[in-house]
Amino acid sequence: MLNEETIYLHGNLCREWSTKTIESTGKQVIENALAYQPTKDSETTFVDITVWEDREGKTDHFDAIIDETSKGSRVMVQGRFKARDYTAKDGTSKKGWNCSVWNIAKVIRPSMKKDPYQGATAIIDGKPVQPGEDWF
């Protein structure tokens, strides 16, 4: 299972991106959720993902991420994962996952007849990067 550390994870985005301002800090973020299923027959884990403004307070990378990915997009994220405990609506204790995303890339599933990276783009340090350039 996941633990609190920097890892890579791939899955599908669960919804469209939402923009939010964190009240305590005034920082801008975009948020989504990732559905992760390591094998076809395994249970799906949902991870809340957050992309933060950069150190200078810029959010230019938000537009690139929102333009390149949407609900259902298969992505790979790199970031800091943390577990959190919460109480479900039915009163049971549950464990959830959050990820502060450092890098995100749209995953294109290869076709045996096509270049596996055709049309692929990663967003690294807020800039779109094409295949063959420095990905993760």
pTM beyond 0.75: no
Place of tokens 């609506």: 89
Phi, psi of 112, rounded to the nearest 5 degrees: -65, -20
What is the rounded CA–CA span in Å between residue 122 and residue 133? 10
* pLDDT surpasses 90 at 35: yes
Alpha-carbon gap, residue 94 to 135, rounded angstroms: 35
CA 33 to chain centre: 7
Considering the four listed CATH numbers 2.60.40.10, 3.20.20.10, 2.40.50.140, 3.40.1390.10, the one that applies to the domain covering 6-129 is 2.40.50.140
The pLDDT of residue 95:
86
CB 75, CB 64: distance < 8 Å: no
DSSP single-letter state for residue 5:
S
Predicted confidence (pLDDT) per residue in 75-120, tens digit: 999 999 898 898 989 999 988 899 999 999 998 766 545 555 555 6
Task: For residues 52-81, give the mean pLDDT.
Answer: 92
Domain range summary for the chain, segments of one domain joined by +: 6-129
